[in-house]
Structure 1
Amino acid sequence: MLQQESLIEYGSRRVIITITAIFCALLEIVDTTIVNVALNDMRGNMGATMSEIGWVITAYAIGNVIIVPMTSWLSQQFGRRNYFAASIIIFTVSSFLCGNATAMWELVLFRFIQGLGGGALLVTSQTIITESYPPEKRGTAQAIYGLGVIIGPTLGPPLGGFITDNYSWPYIFYINIPIGVIATLLTLQFVRSPKYAEKKSINEIDFLGIGLLAVCVGSLQYVLERGQEDDWFNDPAITALATSSVLALFFFIWRELTYKNPIVELRVLKNGNLRVGTILSFILGFGLYGSTFIIPLYTQGLLGWTATQSGMLMVPAALTTAFMMPIIGKMLEKGIPQQYLVAAGMFLFFVYSFWGYKIITPADTGSDSFFWMLIVRGVGMGLLFIPITTLALSSLKGQQIGQGAAFTGMMRQLGGSFGVALITTFMTRRTQMHRNDLVPYLDTNNPDVVNRINGMTANFMSKGYDPKAAKAMAYQLMDFSVTKQASVQSYMDVFLYLGLMFLLCIPFVLMVKAKKQQGKLDASAMH
């Protein structure tokens, strides 16, 4: 087996490989969020319903999460350089096809294919960067990779908003093409493939494992993406897919632990650091994607901001994270234990969430109010991402690095999907609960309520409405005000509970990681 050290690069070659891998990671992650702000334009152009257009996001996510666990095996089967280049080509060609799609089903199909190419970009980029740096520089390597993963979701909405407002929605896909062409050429020229093992013959390939994995994670991703909209387990399709996901997971684990050449090497999870890092990656995905999802939803849904304004709000926090990455990488290289940095990141995430809980209002929360709160989030995310990823991969070698990166990447993606699904469901139910609590206060015998209704009625009459229509509009406006207040209270609940979740994790992080540190978490493993 080829040792890790033989893939280390130096000088300009390492710089080129790093930049290529970062751009590929950015391409993949930006494309998960860039379409969100263009959905309305796509819907109008395609003549689709809101439910149908949601498949543009769902199909990409399903393609992503199916391919991620298989990336290590596919790299081994075809050679990392060839597989990485093929993934970039698949992503780039499908981007062109997405932009040229004329029917809804075409766009959904091409987005699924784009997701299959994109999932590989993310994990393989991480493996390439990690193996290009010597063990003592591993913290810096993860800091560089982290720039793409943390900043990508933030760049998507403002970039998508700008392109949609100034050009047209197909250009959000076309911008991938020149970057993809350059990245393919650089990959073929500079990236090297490790020779970890013999390629498997067609008879040895774990086709059953591939099928079970696709059913398991594909069904799960569908349930998470569509559950709230389809009323969860009251919908037969959601129930059937949830059941098939659980059964496929059971048989997949059994298959991979008993088959001679498994598609996913589950035994690598015997590594304690990787197990802890995988769990923490799930929590990180929950917080990263959940918080990236909630703020634009609030600013656009309740404050009436444009997509571009909402996206730009997140940029200072992303720049803060970018500034923090190399600093945190250096802290790791100096031997500061990962558990302390992760605990600090979780505490800062709690501060950010509690801050959000305190400042949001139904009337107007200006962009100035969000600024420092989001800066705190940016620092916290930097403290979480690099130490978690470094810890997970710290004592892995050779082929195990790719396998470990696949696990952490998949769990971060699934954490984000769980986060968005649970937050959406939680908010829907809390909004209804708060509304039910507020409605009794609208007693028509209450003088304050009567005076407010009369005031609004008079206001509408002064604008030319007849008394009956003015009264109806006044009641409608009052009802809207109650719903808005209930929505704000549900946003407050999300911020509060998200913060408490991270706060409660801190003691467990310190305990678990302290135990793991007794072994090999110094010297090269620490990085």
Structure 2
Amino acid sequence: MSPLKRQVLIITVICAAIMELIDTSIVNVALSYMSGNLGSTLEDTAWVITSYAIANVIIIPMTSFLSTKLGRRNYYIGSIILFTICSFMCGNASGISELVLFRFLQGLGGGALLSVSAAVVYEQFPKEKIGTASALFGIGVFIGPTIGPTLGGYITENFSWPWIFYINIPIGIAAATSCYFLLAEPTVKAKAGGIDWTGIILLTIGIGSLQTVLERGQAEDWFAKGYILALTIIAVISLTAFVLWELHTPNPVVDLRVLKSKSLSVAAILTFITGVGMFTSIFLTPVIAQRLLGFTPTETGLLLLPGAIIAVFALIFTGKILQSGVSPVIVILVGFISFIFFNWSMSQISLDTSASYITTRLIFRAVGMALLTVPLSSLAVSSLPAKDMPQGTALNNMMRQLGGSFGISAITTYSTRRTASHRVDLISNITAGNPQVTERVNRFTSYFQHKGIGLLDAHQKAIKMVDVTVVKQSTLLSYIDSYMLIGLLFALALPLLLLVMKRKAGPPKLVLNDH
């Protein structure tokens, strides 16, 4: 392949990965619009996000098997076509059930756009330049979820929600056409064995059940709902049986034996933690901006944009300094410190925090994630033979997605409970004998009286305003606690990271292995 064609292919598969990852977050800011337009409750509309995530996590670990069985070129192009068609059908949906169905199918097509794209990018570079490959692919991994809310907010406000799906159509057509002419089968192929139907069924049931529990648990008050408890039991049994089966069957749908590589095993754990931080921070910040600070969806999206732009350069810079011999320990250490600082600084916010404060802090988040994405992606595949790279990449990507789902679920539960706790503490101080409370009520009462409202009604409205203030303040305090918890998780993971990275021996190279 000529250098020009090689560059076009790399750009194509990265754009496909970005498109897939954008769709993980682009609908978040449009749920209320969808709910009103389709005549469904917000709770039912949330399945638009859940169904996509479930399909993604189910299919990602199976991509290596499907690529081998169907041929990577056929599977990848077919996945792009499926994703594109389902994008059109999502935008054209007339009811919530139809939309959820096509979002699930869209997620099945999107799985290949992440894992196979990564494998294709890695193949275009020799082993000693794997850092450059990781940096290029890392752009997609980071930029996709980050610009999703920005793009979704702009489209929803200025056009209509179906266009958040329609924009995928020209990109999908261009990507499928480019891959038809440029994408070839890998030079080193894994041997295609029989179809592991048992593994496929166990994986689908197990991951599907687990993802549903993680996505819907908080909304359904966890085990208070019988189906959440049932799905939890099913997930534990199915996934345990899946692991045991895959380790003993000769042709597994997911070759868990690649986890014998210490580099991949450690990278998977650290990637899970990175996924927790990446997705929870991108979940918490827009919620605070819109619900507490009063920003519009477009303004909220713009908060993330400077960090996303800087992250592109940080990713490229990271690849180059790793290639030049800088120790990955130093890069990852700086990345963790940057992300810990982001969480600490966000724990200092108030209801008067400015947009510029949040934007500058999000830059630290962006740089931190950029500095972690490249060395961890490199670590995941560094000691694997070429034939196992797709499987290793798929498992690592699955851990990132699971980390995001687990993190959002955990942080939603934690913040909800902390909100209730802070509300109780704040209300205990609101008494008739508290001069600050009396002054606040009198001020609100006077304000409403000046608006022409009678004394009794003005006083009742003043009481409600105090309650609204308590709700806002208790919610803010719970989010502050959440940022602190995420920062603590990264701090606790830091010694493990350093211990593992010190295993690298020999001259400073990017290639990390177990020897």
Q: TM-score, normalised by structure 2?
A: 0.97
Candidates 302, 305, 312, aligned match of 1:322: 312
Give, in whole Å, the separation in 1 of the partners of 2:393 and 2:93: 33
Mapping for residues 138-287 of structure 1, pairs under 5 Å: 138-194=130-186, 196-200=189-193, 204-287=194-277
Q: Aligned to 1:314, what secondary structure does the other structure show?
A: helix
How big is the shift at 1:446? 2.3
Q: Which residue of 2 aligns with 1:444?
A: 432
Q: Aligned to 1:308, what secondary structure does the other structure show?
A: helix
1:511 aligns with 2:504: no
Which string of whole-angstrom CA distances, capped at 9 and with x for unpartnered residues, describes residues 271-323 of structure 1?
Answer: 00000100011011000011111100100010111111101100111111101
Q: 2:322·2:510 contact (CA, 8 Å) conserved in 1?
A: no
Give, in whole Å, the separation in 2 of the partners of 1:310 and 1:207: 45
1:121 aligns with 2:108: no
Q: 1:276·1:513 contact (CA, 8 Å) conserved in 2?
A: no
Mapping for residues 388-427 of structure 1, pairs under 5 Å: 388-427=376-415
Mapping for residues 339-350 of structure 1, pairs under 5 Å: 339-350=329-340
Which string of whole-angstrom CA distances, capped at 9 and with x for unpartnered residues, describes residues 182-203 of structure 1?
Answer: 1101111111112514433xxx
How big is the shift at 1:505? 1.6
Candidates 67, 86, 94, aligned match of 2:59: 67
Counterpart of 1:77 in structure 2: which amino acid? K
Runs of 4+ in 1 over 4 A off after TM superposition: 519-526
Structure-2 change in CA distance of 1:444 and 1:461 (3 Å): same
Counterpart of 1:498 in structure 2: which amino acid? I
Give, in whole Å, the separation in 1 of the partners of 2:110 and 2:124: 21
Counterpart of 1:212 in structure 2: which amino acid? L
How big is the shift at 1:521? 8.2
Give, in whole Å, the separation in 1 of the partners of 2:359 and 2:222: 36
How big is the shift at 1:469? 1.3
Give, in whole Å, the separation in 1 of the partners of 2:75 and 2:508: 32
Q: Aligned to 1:42, what secondary structure does the other structure show?
A: helix
Give, in whole Å, the separation in 1 of the partners of 2:201 and 2:64: 17
Candidates 438, 441, 447, aligned match of 1:459: 447
Counterpart of 2:47 in structure 1: which amino acid? W
Which string of whole-angstrom CA distances, capped at 9 and with x for unpartnered residues, describes residues 131-154 of structure 1?
Answer: 111112210111000111101111
Structure-2 change in CA distance of 1:13 and 1:465 (3 Å): same
Candidates 468, 472, 475, aligned match of 1:480: 468
Give, in whole Å, the separation in 1 of the partners of 2:508 and 2:407: 31
Q: 1:56·1:107 contact (CA, 8 Å) conserved in 2?
A: yes
Q: Aligned to 1:263, what secondary structure does the other structure show?
A: coil
Which string of whole-angstrom CA distances, capped at 9 and with x for unpartnered residues, describes residues 91-130 of structure 1?
Answer: 0000011111111110000000000000111011000000
Candidates 269, 277, 280, aligned match of 1:290: 280
Candidates 273, 284, 294, aligned match of 1:304: 294
Give, in whole Å, the separation in 1 of the partners of 2:415 and 2:287: 11
Q: 2:76·2:112 contact (CA, 8 Å) conserved in 1?
A: yes
Corresponding residue pairs, total: 512
Q: Aligned to 2:502, what secondary structure does the other structure show?
A: helix
Higher mean alpha-carbon deviation, 424-433 vs 391-400, is at: 391-400
Task: Give unmatched runs, 5+ long, in structure 2.
Answer: none
Q: Which residue of 2 aligns with 1:6?
A: none
Q: 1:20·1:187 contact (CA, 8 Å) conserved in 2?
A: yes
Q: Which residue of 2 aligns with 1:354?
A: 344
How big is the shift at 1:519? 7.8
Q: 1:61·1:115 contact (CA, 8 Å) conserved in 2?
A: yes
Q: 1:34·1:157 contact (CA, 8 Å) conserved in 2?
A: yes
Q: 1:212·1:249 contact (CA, 8 Å) conserved in 2?
A: yes
Give, in whole Å, the separation in 2 of the partners of 1:176 and 1:254: 39
Q: 1:94·1:110 contact (CA, 8 Å) conserved in 2?
A: yes
Which string of whole-angstrom CA distances, capped at 9 and with x for unpartnered residues, describes residues 173-218 of structure 1?
Answer: 1111111011101111111112514433xxx211110010011111
How big is the shift at 1:337? 2.5
Q: Percent identity?
A: 46
Q: 2:18·2:144 contact (CA, 8 Å) conserved in 1?
A: yes
How big is the shift at 1:16? 1.0
Counterpart of 1:313 in structure 2: which amino acid? L
Counterpart of 1:243 in structure 2: which amino acid? I
Candidates 29, 44, 48, aligned match of 2:36: 44
Q: 2:90·2:103 contact (CA, 8 Å) conserved in 1?
A: yes
Q: 1:320·1:379 contact (CA, 8 Å) conserved in 2?
A: yes
Q: Which residue of 1 aligns with 2:89?
A: 97
Candidates 459, 479, 485, aligned match of 1:491: 479
Q: TM-score, normalised by structure 1?
A: 0.95
Counterpart of 1:207 in structure 2: which amino acid? W
Which string of whole-angstrom CA distances, capped at 9 and with x for unpartnered residues, describes residues 190-248 of structure 1?
Answer: 11112514433xxx211110010011111111111101010011111111101100100
Counterpart of 2:210 in structure 1: which amino acid? L
Candidates 307, 328, 331, aligned match of 1:338: 328
Give, in whole Å, the separation in 2 of the partners of 1:412 and 1:428: 24
Counterpart of 1:73 in structure 2: which amino acid? F
Give, in whole Å, the separation in 2 of the partners of 1:349 and 1:330: 21
Q: 2:206·2:238 contact (CA, 8 Å) conserved in 1?
A: yes
Give, in whole Å, the separation in 2 of the partners of 1:524 and 1:294: 35
How big is the shift at 1:163? 1.3
Higher mean alpha-carbon deviation, 449-458 vs 407-416, is at: 449-458
How big is the shift at 1:23? 0.8
Q: 2:17·2:140 contact (CA, 8 Å) conserved in 1?
A: yes
Give, in whole Å, the separation in 2 of the partners of 1:46 and 1:129: 40
Structure-2 change in CA distance of 1:290 and 1:454 (3 Å): same
Which string of whole-angstrom CA distances, capped at 9 and with x for unpartnered residues, describes residues 28-83 of structure 1?
Answer: 00111111111111111110001100010000000100000000010111111111
Counterpart of 1:518 in structure 2: which amino acid? A
Counterpart of 1:410 in structure 2: which amino acid? M
Counterpart of 1:490 in structure 2: which amino acid? S
Candidates 81, 88, 104, aligned match of 2:80: 88
Q: 2:378·2:511 contact (CA, 8 Å) conserved in 1?
A: no
Give, in whole Å, the separation in 1 of the partners of 2:510 and 2:126: 12
